[in-house]
Structure formats: structure tokens, C-alpha cells
Chains A and B, each alone.
Chain A
Amino acid sequence: MHDSPPKIKVEQFSSWYGDKPVHKEISFHVRANEVLGIIGPAQSGKTTLLRAINRTLELTAGARSTGTIQVDGEDVRWVANVYELRRKIGMVAPLPVGLPLTIYDNVAFAPRCAGLSRKSDLDALVEKCLRQAALWDEVKDRLDSLGTKLSGGQQQRLTIARALSHQPEILCLDEFSIAIDPVTTMRIEEVLKELRKDITIILVTNLTQQARRLADRTMFLWNGEIIQLDRSEVIFSENPGNQKTYDYVHGIFG
């Protein structure tokens, strides 16, 4: 595991919204095929970090950043094709977003944007992604009904299916379980355990137990700084070696 070059390498990364600083010169890397958990309270820069990696941060007015982020050794700032970069990274937002299209079209949206148009290819891909997101059995008979009419939990799985539809090498999940019930959450966690064999996963979560269950390593991000980044066993142990981490994980953070 230590031999392979890092999938994502972040160096001296700082960011701001207007004058308000978010990250303060953070550096870390994500190894290929690992699950990196990111925990931390609100406003600590978790979502912004994900948006910097797939370069959607720059679409927000007033956002700027310094430092470098490399994906597969390439500085994201200078990639020739930013859309290719974004396809390499699947992104799941906290609240489900069903696009106002049919279920089928929701999943086929990204492949179509990338130029895939053969019906049989799309059919196969849509089924594969919906299966991976544990949604296929519930919607296979009504693929042409609207994605926005699904329940919240179903829409979140649809969002995950869409994030997988462009066959990413990295999957970023931003508090994906906020809007869904525990049973569905567990089903998706099972899915993630399958997926980790093939792809790298960044899991932002406010459920520390979820990070403990899934993440190989966990990063505690607080106020735009990395307080600690270590193997999950260490972070969630009785003695993580950092008082702030201990307090946060054990719910006595003041």
C-alpha cells in the first residue's frame, strides 16, 4: 500500500471565501484504494476541500485558493480538461439532488455528456450503477418516471448512482447519510465496502461511528486545520495521542 504513489496529494493548500479564510496551509495525501474518513464540526472546511479537489470551488463567487492539489500526480489547476478531471471524481452532496429528468436519464446524464450514446451501452451502465447504489430492485420497473418524485432516501441513492455513472476512480461522499434512514445507510455502507476494491473513497461524515466502520485512515479537520490524521484504529482509540481528537470523537468537544 505504501509503495503506490498517492492518488491525491494536497500541499500547503489554503482557501478563502472573500476575506474569510477556510483552510490554512493544509497538506495530506490520499492513497490509492483507501477509504479516507474526514470528520470535523460544521464550518471546518470539509465540503470546501472536496469542491477544491474537483475544481467546482472556482464556480463560487469570491472563492480563491493557493497551494497545490494533485490527482494522479497532475496539478488540478493546470489539467487540460477540467471536465475529464470531474468525471474522474464522483461527488455525492449531503442533500439528495434528483435532476428533473427520468430515473434513467438521471443516471445516463453524465455518460451522455461525455459522448456515450449507444442505447445498449447506456442500458447496461444504468443498470450497473443503480445496482451498485442498491436502488435497482426498487426502480427497475419505472425507469421512465421522474427522479425528483422518488423519496429522499431513494433520491440519495440515485445521486450515488449518478456519481458512479461516469466511472470515477475517486468517490467523494459528503455526509451522504444525512437525509436517509439507518437501514439504507447500512446498505450503502455495504456498497462502499464493495467499491473500495476498485476505487479510492473520501468519506466526509459527522457520524464518527461511520468513519470508524469504513475508513482506513481518518482525518480530523477543525477550523480549516488538520488536527490529526492517522489510522482509524488510532483516531478512535482511547488514546489517539491528541486531546482535541479524543474530545471530539467522544463528544465532549467544547
Chain B
Amino acid sequence: MNSTPSSPATSPAPFVSNPRVRRKLRQERIAQAVFATMVVLMLLPLLGILVYLVVRGAPLISWEFLTTNPSKGMTAGGIWSALLGTVWLVVVSLAFSAPIGVLAAVYLNEYAKDNWFTRVVNLAVVNLAGVPSIVHALFGLGAFVLFFGMGRSILAASLTLAVMTMPVVITATREALGAVPMSFREACWNVGATRWQTIRRIVLPNAVSGILTGVILEISRKAGETVPIMFTGAVFFRAIPEGDLFAYRLTDQCMALSMHLYTVTTQVTGAPAALPFAVATVLILAIILINATSIAIRAWLRSHRKW
């Protein structure tokens, strides 16, 4: 700072601290420390759960554990039928909720005028997200299992999960669409593009990363739910052919990881102590894997962002 023009005699040198400045700096340090502490407090239980689960469950986990059915009253064997059941529930449910959710969100964001009807719809979506899962379970039981006569089945359970997680994908899609600048749409309309041409060529390609994130979040939510499937299609035990990915049919009842965890923890006596932890570890690792994929895809798409 030797280029300072004013002489030290007439004005204080720059950057000299005085009590007020020192107080500000102290506050700054305290604020930063408080926020950092909160991050640690947040991470502790998260890491605690993960480490505890893996340490206690890992000894049981092996390829065989993943690919064999439970046996001997679920005190031995693996988790194959539960793992495959969860995959089926997630995939079937996604086949309903992802297209409906994404397309409905496109309509709400790109076509619908702002009037009382769309405001009611928006309110409904938000409230649907806040409905407890037991209520969804009862709805699924009443509507899909009984009224539509699907019985307790993969189909009924998947539809229940689809209804429950729809708000996630609708909200994420709307946010992604909303992030595409309005000026892009106006530029398209000005040159005579229809709304659909604008959506297909400009809006959707630039919203796809956000939409994917929503869909993937939805997957992990579906995989973790217990109560809705318990009422509508999941069973305590079912043996299926090992190694066959299509061992279930839509009308079958199935096992599921989340439900299996509940079973081996509370309903089974004589199971090895590590068993619940092993099931939980598999479930959590699966969800972490799905979320990590989501983050990776989003990062990749962001780096290819075009504006």
C-alpha cells in the first residue's frame, strides 16, 4: 500500500484496527464457529448411524447373503426375495409416477394459467407431500386393494407408493422448468414457435437435470417406505426362485427390504444379532448409491449447461 497518497500525519493509515473493527472481526469469527459447529452436530449422527450399521452388519454381508432367500424362520439365509421385491416395487411404481408427475408438472408450469383452479392444484400437491404415510397406506388399501380389486399385490403396493411420492417429482420438475429463463420462451414464441415446439426444443432439454434429480429422489423415497406396502402388498416371508430377476409377477405379493428389517428386528426370535444390521446396511447403501448417481448425473449435466 505504498502508493497511498495521503500522508500519515493528516489521516490515519488504512487498515489500522480500532476497537470497533476488532469487535466486528470477533463477531465474524464467532459466527463462523457457530455455523461450523452446527455442521459437525449434523454430521455426527449421520456418520454414527452409518459406521454403527456397517461395523455391526458387514460381517454378514456377502454375495450369497444378497442372492439367497431367507430360511429357517428367517434366522438364516439371505435377503434375495426382499431385495428383488424392493426393486420390483420401485420400478413398477416409477413406471406410473414418473411419467404422470413429469407431464403434469409440464402442464402446470408451461400451459396452465394462474387462476383459482391451478392454485387449488398446487395446494393439493403440497398437501399430498405432507400426508403421513399411514394415511396413504389406508388409501391404497381402500382404493387399489379393495375397490379396484387388485388384492394385496405388487401392483397395488406400487400404485400406493406412486401416489405417495408423486409430489416429489412434480415439485422437482416444476422447479427445473422454472429455472429455464422466461426470455428463452419469449424468443421462441416471437419467431412463431408453438408452445409444444418451445417445450420440446428448448425448455425440456434444459430442465432435464433437475427432472432427473427429482425422479431419483423419488426412487430413494420409495425404497425406504414401509407402512404403505405393508398394508397393500408386502408380506413377512415368501421364497422365490433364486437368481431369477422375473421371479415376481405384478399380482404376487412380495417381500421388501424395509419390511424385512421390521420383521427381523421385532418379529423373529433366534436370528443372529447382526442380521437386522446387515439388512439395514444393504438398504442404506442402496439408497446412498442411488443418491450418489443422482448427484453425479446432475453434476455432469450442469457442466454441459448451455447458458
Contacts and interface: CB of A to CB of B under 8 A. Distances in A.
Interface of A: 54, 56, 59, 61, 83-87, 90-91, 93, 95, 97-101, 109-110, 113-114, 146, 148, 159, 162-163, 165-166
B190 A86 contact: yes
Given A85-B192, A97-B183, A100-B205, 11 more contacts: A54-B190, A56-B186, A56-B190, A83-B193, A86-B190, A99-B202, A100-B184, A101-B306, A146-B306, A159-B187, A162-B187
B189 interface: yes
B249 interface: no
Contact of A84 (B114, B184, B189, B192): B192
A7 B194 CA distance: 25
A132 to B, nearest CB: 15
A107 to B, nearest CB: 10
A83 to B, nearest CB: 4
Contacts of B186: 56, 59, 93, 97
A100 to B, nearest CB: 3
A247 to B, nearest CB: 34
19 contacts: A84-B192, A85-B192, A86-B191, A87-B192, A90-B191, A91-B190, A93-B183, A93-B186, A97-B183, A98-B307, A100-B206, A101-B202, A101-B306, A109-B201, A110-B191, A148-B307, A159-B187, A162-B191, A165-B191
A93 B189 CA distance: 12
Contacts of B286: none
A113 B189 contact: no
Given A93-B183, A95-B183, A114 B192 contact: yes
Contact of B191 (A146, A148, A163): A163
Contacts of A95: 183
Interface of B: 113-114, 183-184, 186-194, 197, 201-202, 205-206, 305-307
B194 A113 contact: yes
A167 B197 CA distance: 19
A113 B192 contact: yes
A109 B114 CA distance: 29
A163 B191 CA distance: 7
Which of A85, A95, A110, A162 has the most chain B CB within a 10 Å cutoff? A110
Contacts of B197: 113
A125 B307 CA distance: 25
Contacts of A162: 187, 191
A100 B191 contact: no
B193 A110 contact: yes
Contacts of B194: 83, 113
Contacts of A148: 306-307
A56 B189 contact: yes
Nearest to B184: A99
Nearest to B198: A113
Nearest to A165: B191
A15 B151 CA distance: 59
Contacts of B113: 61
Nearest to A159: B187
B307 A100 contact: yes
B189 A97 contact: no
